[in-house]
Amino acid sequence: MSSDARLMLSEGFAHTRDDWEAAAAAVLRKARRLGEDDPDSGVWAALTRRTLDGLDVPPLGSAELVADLPAPVRPPARDAGWDVRAWLADPDPAAAARAALTDLENGAHSLLVQVGPGGLAPADLAAALDGVLLDVAPVVLDAPHDPLGAARALTDVARGADGVPAAGTNLGVDPFAAAARSLRHEQEATADGDDPAEVVVTAYHLAREAGCRALVVDGTALHDAGASDVQEVGYALAVAAHHLRALEAAGVAVDDAAATIEFRLAATDEQLPTVAKLRAVRRLWARMLELSGASADRRQMVLHAVTSRPMMTRYDPWVNMLRTCVAAFVAGVGGADAVTVLPFDSRLGLPDAFGRRIARNTSTLLVEESHVARVADPAGGAFAVERLTDDLAHAAWRGLGTIETSGGVAAALADGSLAGRVGEVVEQRDRLVATRRRAVTGTSEFPNLAETLPERAPYAEGAHPVRPWAEPFERLRDDPATTPVFLATMGSLARHTARATFAANLLAAGGVAVTGRGVHDDVEAVLEAYRGPDGGQPVVCLAGHDDDYAAWGADLVAALREAGAAWVVVAGRPGDLGVDDSAAVGVDAVAFLTTVRERLR
């Protein structure tokens, strides 16, 4: 972009790129994110965010970002909003039936039913759906361990009901979901002993007889194991390609095969990447169908978005309401046809009535009051979103190629190559979480050690395995330290508050409480507090201003050691204080906390 190109900023006034760079650079210099001698153009590198897939999200969109992009594949208009799909996983059929009817009578349009380990037994489907008008409310199954057993159970229930199953009903068969969820190195057989292609074809014929869809491409299975956005989309396309080939080999026309497939992807609270992911997968599916010879009017995708399980936390679960609200919003903006908002308390166990109500009302408010669904593709035309969508689509298509080169999705799951690539992303994400560059509010940031978690009934054995993003911190919180850290605050309240608050929050994220805060003007004042009833701990953390560290920090460290402190750390840079460890912004918090907890024993 030339330096004299015009950018439309606030109030419609045109400004040059140089104008914007200068304004942004001034702000970054105040925040010390840009040096006084750095050029203004450095704002692009400072503000560009990179995803786990290595894709750049620029701070500002401009026309040249989309100059060479193809026309987007847009979702169909949804004047009435998206399908609000409630999640049902209670193994008690009577309780499940009550929850289903409550959801459907209060805003939900369809049901996502967990069948098999972690959910309802196939034999209990009839009782769980008792009272549900199957010709009005679509039912979609999630039965990774015995997809055909669950499918047959649902078709039996449908046959016993009057009329044809409601449009959108899906047997939910995905022969790869169980293996993807656990990333086993051996292909998991189905209950019928059939290979995946046979499962797909059998499901297709069951669905034809019942008058509904047969197959789900469940990208959330890989997402829950820790996959990135690009990996999730590439995997989903590989599964879809397998289904098309299996049905083609059985003599099913590509148009009919495409019509029986539904995609299920995760929506996270990372807004732009999620919007780009949902837009990209729609475009790539259309391209795959075009290459397969599908009719131009049969290349639309049926897309179901489920709010991310790994992004949710067990601690401070109320924050999950915010996460799922953002995720539902971006699912709608990204063009999802159906959205399942997982209840905020679903990480704690079976959600209660309040959690289910908040979940369904989230979509209702977005559709009915915020009118998010009024525009078919609200992000379309936004320069940064279009660029990110294209970048993600190209990367996911390459990911599909990698899976295909290894022999297809079954081979990639069986030989461990897919698990290896997902493992690399998990390690990368764990590093970001550990250093709190990827903050998890309520867990790694702003934790509340005194909180009382709501109690929920446990899931049935075999519930979906999930790799939570906050897991490293949750493991520490699960076993809180019995001894606090003495927080040696130095100087006035104004001088030590920032670092004392930082240190207390950091320690609390690892299940470690603090004691000893107060105003201490010199070494003797700190020692008096340390020798008092709230002191004497083996680990001490200094918190104060740099000037106080320089003036009397080293003397304080020596005096604390003499008074019995076995491990002394400092909030900030260690300098020449003679401390054992230090913690500043960007520290590996998990490693630091692990060491502190070991020294507290």
Q: How far apart are CA 306 and CA 441, in angstroms?
A: 21
Q: How many CB atoms lie within 10 A of CB 37?
A: 6
* pLDDT reading at 3 higher than 50: no
Which CATH number belongs to the domain containing residue 484 in this structure? 3.40.50.280
Confidence of residue 13 (pLDDT cuts 50, 70, 90): low
| Residue 388 belongs to some domain of the structure | no
Through-space distance between the first and last CA atoms of the chain, rounded to whole angstroms: 59
SS3 541: strand
Q: How far apart are CA 54 and CA 43, in angstroms?
A: 19
Average per-residue pLDDT for the chain: 93
| Residue 455 belongs to some domain of the structure | no
Which residues form the domain of 220?
83-373+397-411
| Residue 501 belongs to some domain of the structure | yes
Number of domains in the chain: 3
* In the chain, % of residues over pLDDT 90: 86
pLDDT tens for each residue of 38-78: 999 999 999 999 999 999 999 988 888 888 898 888 888 87
Check whether residue 206 and residue 123 sit in a common domain. yes
* pLDDT reading at 419 higher than 60: yes
SS3 144: coil
What are the Cα distances from residue 455, in Å, to 235, 268, 442? Answer: 36, 25, 18
pLDDT tens for each residue of 177-224: 999 998 743 444 444 456 999 999 999 999 999 999 999 999 999 999
DSSP E strand boundaries for 294-438: 303-307, 338-340
Q: How far apart are CA 27 and CA 70, in angstroms?
A: 36
Helices vs strands, H then E, count in the chain:
22, 17
Contact 482, 535 (CB under 8 A): no
* pLDDT reading at 5 higher than 60: no
Check whether residue 161 and residue 24 sit in a common domain. no
Q: Which of 365, 381, 411 lies at the terminal end of a domain, its last residue?
A: 411
Check whether residue 152 and residue 248 sit in a common domain. yes
**Residue 305 backbone dihedrals phi, psi, to 5 degrees:** -105, 135
CA dihedral 182, 187, 188, 194 (to 10 degrees): 150
Provide the pLDDT for residue 189.
Answer: 40
Check whether residue 28 and residue 88 sit in a common domain. no
Check whether residue 309 and residue 401 sit in a common domain. yes
- Using alpha carbons, select from 134, 270, 144 the residue that is nearest to residue 196: 144
Q: Hey, what are 426's tokens?
A: 């998990």
Residue 323, H or E segment:
helix 319-333
| Residue 272 belongs to some domain of the structure | yes
Provide the pLDDT for residue 75.
Answer: 86
Provide mean pLDDT across the span 345-354: 96
Strand 581-583 to strand 83-88: parallel, antiparallel, or no bridges (unpaired)? unpaired
User: Which of 93-102, 179-188, 268-277, 414-423 has the lowest average pLDDT?
Assistant: 179-188
Q: How far apart are CA 281 and CA 265, in angstroms?
A: 9
Render 473-528 in DSSP notation, one character per residue.
HHHHHHS--SSPEEEEE-B-HHHHHHHHHHHHHHHHHTT--EE--S-B-SHHHHHH
Q: How far apart are CA 34 and CA 555, in angstroms?
A: 35
| Residue 65 belongs to some domain of the structure | no
Q: How far apart are CA 497 and CA 502, in angstroms?
A: 8
Q: Is 11 exposed, middle or buried (0-12, 13-18, 19+ CB in 10 A)?
A: exposed
pLDDT tens for each residue of 116-142: 998 999 999 999 999 999 999 999 999
Provide mean pLDDT across the span 221-250: 97
Provide the pLDDT for residue 460.
Answer: 86
Provide the pLDDT for residue 191.
Answer: 42
Strand 83-88 to strand 110-114: parallel, antiparallel, or no bridges (unpaired)? parallel
Check whether residue 35 and residue 158 sit in a common domain. no
- Using alpha carbons, select from 176, 130, 63 the residue that is nearest to residue 411: 176
Check whether residue 125 and residue 40 sit in a common domain. no
Check whether residue 13 and residue 93 sit in a common domain. no
Provide the pLDDT for residue 423.
Answer: 95
Check whether residue 407 and residue 502 sit in a common domain. no
Contact 307, 267 (CB under 8 A): yes
Contact 244, 286 (CB under 8 A): no
SS3 221: helix
Confidence of residue 596 (pLDDT cuts 50, 70, 90): very high
Q: How far apart are CA 84 and CA 104, in angstroms?
A: 9
Check whether residue 114 and residue 179 sit in a common domain. yes
